[in-house]
Amino acid sequence: MGLALAEARRAETRGEVPIGAVLVKDGTILASAGNRTREMSDPTAHAEMLVIREACHILDNERLTGCDLYVTLEPCTMCAAAISFARIRRLYYGAQDIKGGGVENGARFYNQPTCLHAPEVYPGFREQEAEDMLKAFFRTKRL
């Protein structure tokens, strides 16, 4: 989660919402990224989507079976669906996203009968640090 938080800080320096993600398989980091939606003019360029795309390319497979994803904020519904479709084994996340989350808040994608694969979900990893970073970022935007 430390590397995901570092990616979030780098995203913030680029003017992006500070969210970072890291994808790991068998103890090896396959991909890490921070949000790039503004930089890429792409609403799907969330940190989770970027690491999923990169890891699929590296493994030359659309399935990321046996992989674990670490992300600083509860994934939105789009990212939760991508995690499911990629068959990611475990999801570890930091802060909850009460407004936009898709895992334990909002749509609760993995609880839907149409969800074909749900990862093991472990919330709250370095939650306060991730939450504080997001709150500080948005506080500067509201000035």
Q: What is the DSSP letter of 110?
A: G
pTM: 0.95
Catalytic residue among 12, 48, 127, 131: 48
At a CB cut-off of 8 Å and minimum separation 6, what does 111 contact?
A: 118
Write the pLDDT tens digit of every residue in 46-100.
999 999 999 999 999 999 999 999 999 999 999 999 999 999 999 999 999 999 9
At a CB cut-off of 8 Å and minimum separation 6, what does 49 contact?
A: 78, 79, 82
Which SS3 state, helix, strand or coil, does residue 126 take?
coil
The Cα-based distances of 12 to 37, 54, 68, 102 in angstroms read 12, 21, 24, 22
Q: Residue 66 and residue 101: Cα distance in Å, rounded?
A: 24
Predicted confidence (pLDDT) at residue 143 exceeds the cutoff of 70: no
Write the pLDDT tens digit of every residue in 6-56.
999 999 999 999 999 999 999 999 999 999 999 999 999 999 999 999 999
Is 48 part of the annotated catalytic residue set? yes
